[in-house]
Amino acid sequence: MLSRDGHEVTLVERDATPLPADPAGAFEWNRRGAPQVRHSHAFLARLRNLLRDFYPDVLDALYAAGATDMDFIAMLPEGMDHTRLPGDEDLVALACRRTTFEWVLRRIVIEEHNVTLLDGHTVNALTGSPATADQAAVVTGVVLDNGTEIAADLVVAAAGRRSSIPDLLAPLGVTISEHVEDTGIIYYSRFFELHDDADWPVQMGPIGGDLGYLKFGVFRGDNRTFSVTLSTRSHDEELRSMLLDPDVFLRAAGALPATAAYVDGRATPITDVYVMAKLLNRHRRFTNDEGAPLVVGFSAVGDAHTCTNPLYGRGCSLAMVQAHLLAGSLRQHPDDLLARATAFEAATAAEIHPWYRSSVAQDQLNRSEVARLNAIESGDTSVSTEENPSVALLRDGLFPAMRIDPVVLRAFLRMFNLLEAPDSLMTNFDVIGRVMSVFQDRDERPPEEPLGPNRARLLELIAS
């Protein structure tokens, strides 16, 4: 984005690995600096539309590499009106592996005439002027691990959730506050490839669900690949250790109605089980209480700035949106460091931070529901067993309404794909009315089919 605006860009990349020849080679890429690349990823409609509208050659390159569209309107439930409405053209996500996505981006970036890639190096320090009582710190460049100094008008930290941004800024007198909440989950992913003569299972919308003790999802990739992800609570030592076994993982996926068709023999596993732990919601604050930047000449994007529970699949899309916001702030304020940083952080607060708050709130709701169900099962009277009204409204109102009401489903899909704010469902009076109507009829409907077995039954099924 910045190079196409005419800027000279130096990209410092820790991993010294040659660019693979194709998407298959990219799947074997040694990306130690990004351990999540061989886990499930979602490339939501907000990201796809951003590429479509501003970087169409990148989108075309992804298609050429095997990525495909996930048209949510084409996947509306059977019996629901599939007539296209204005805005439906935006409800399209990308089916693509993270490694393929990164391979396409890397190839395009290094082909830019004004980009220099320095791989095999890390940034050990920042250069610049320290903060004073009435002035923000000014970053003027970086110091690499070999002692080389590189001067820069803007330093962008895009080193992911494990990056030590506060430590880099501390020598310049900048204290970056962090708000961190552990998601309380660990997830396991395994990739598969469809056999040449096999078809995809019928899919109506994204495949995913939550059994309380276990969350699950299927994510289609490029070139007839897909991944299954299972997620447990971090304290569930028994289930955690069992799911690491590739055969047990298959049996668990086969025990869930939503994922069973994907592991019924139509596909071959192409990886072992990958595990991802220490998953955080974290927000780093780069402004003071008045909204003034603490540092200029420096910006963080993606998980280096704000990261959310990866189970919700928003990370790559939000990172791309934030990168686009940064490029926009540089166009608006090419020479005013303070105005640029102010504009970027304000745009981030408006576009990115609400999704952080939403992730934290959803995780808190999930934890309270798990604790309630555990208390019921164990007879623990120290924990309230009264159901949270929000849980009941989701289960008996929103979710069943989505299966029968195209207005509600479209509203949910737009929110799910970051096209509307996270609270958009609760501020849409038409949607609220439709959901409440379904909720009021809950006692007149037959019980919902369970998404899968309870924990005790699953343990029986996977232990054999």
Strand partners, 225: 193
- Say whether both 285 and 339 belong to one domain: yes
pLDDT of residue 82: 87
- Say whether both 241 and 157 belong to one domain: no
Residue 205 has pLDDT above 60, yes or no: no
> Across the chain, what does the average pLDDT equal?
92
In total, how many domains does the chain have?
3
**Element spanning 267, H or E:** strand 267-269
Taking only the tens place, the pLDDT of each residue in 103-132 is 999 999 999 999 999 999 999 999 999 999
8 A C-beta contact, residue 13 and residue 341: no
- Say whether both 455 and 333 belong to one domain: no
pLDDT of residue 39: 80
- Say whether both 175 and 296 belong to one domain: yes
- Say whether both 265 and 308 belong to one domain: no
Of 276, 294, 314, the last residue of a domain is 276
Give the pLDDT mean for 383-406: 89
Structural domain contains residue 20: no
Q: Residue 336 and residue 279: Cα distance in Å, rounded? A: 36
Q: What are the distances in angstroms from CA 132 to CA 44, 91, 135, 142, 174?
A: 42, 48, 5, 20, 10
Range scoring the smallest mean pLDDT among 140-144, 199-203, 270-274, 453-457: 199-203
Structural domain contains residue 133: yes
Q: Residue 269 and residue 25: Cα distance in Å, rounded? A: 17
8 A C-beta contact, residue 16 and residue 81: no
Structural domain contains residue 25: no
Range scoring the smallest mean pLDDT among 213-217, 318-322, 336-340: 213-217
Percentage above 90 pLDDT, the chain: 74
Per-residue confidence band for 206, with pLDDT thresholds at 50, 70 and 90: low
**Would strands 225-233 and 214-220 be described as parallel, antiparallel, or unpaired?**
antiparallel
Range scoring the smallest mean pLDDT among 163-167, 182-186, 218-222: 182-186
- Say whether both 306 and 164 belong to one domain: yes
Per-residue confidence band for 381, with pLDDT thresholds at 50, 70 and 90: confident
List alpha helices for 275-398, DSSP H.
315-332, 337-351, 353-378, 389-393
Q: What are the distances in angstroms from CA 357 to CA 97, 180, 307, 350, 360?
A: 27, 11, 11, 12, 5
Residue 446 has pLDDT above 60, yes or no: yes
Give the pLDDT mean for 3-14: 95
pLDDT of residue 283: 96
Q: Which residues contact 313 (CB under 8 A, 6 or more apart)?
A: 40, 41, 42, 44, 217, 219
- Say whether both 174 and 287 belong to one domain: yes
In angstroms and rounded to an integer, the radius of gyration of the C-alpha atoms of the chain is 23
- Say whether both 414 and 444 belong to one domain: yes
Taking only the tens place, the pLDDT of each residue in 77-102 is 888 988 999 999 999 999 999 999 99
Structural domain contains residue 78: no
Structural domain contains residue 367: no
pTM of the predicted structure, to 2 decimals? 0.93
Q: Residue 236 and residue 232: Cα distance in Å, rounded? A: 7
- Say whether both 291 and 255 belong to one domain: no
Residue 18 has pLDDT above 90, yes or no: no
Report DSSP state, residue 67.
Answer: -
Give the pLDDT mean for 164-193: 93
Structural domain contains residue 309: yes
Residue 421 belongs to domain spanning: 387-463
Of 254, 276, 298, the last residue of a domain is 276
- Say whether both 338 and 214 belong to one domain: no
Structural domain contains residue 66: no
Q: Which residues contact 197 (CB under 8 A, 6 or more apart)?
A: none
Phi, psi of 79 (to 5 degrees): 95, -15
Handedness of CA 233, 239, 241, 243 (dihedral sign): negative
CATH number for the domain spanning 202: value is 3.30.9.100
Phi, psi of 110 (to 5 degrees): -75, -15
8 A C-beta contact, residue 153 and residue 332: no
- Say whether both 188 and 212 belong to one domain: yes
Per-residue confidence band for 204, with pLDDT thresholds at 50, 70 and 90: low
Structural domain contains residue 197: yes
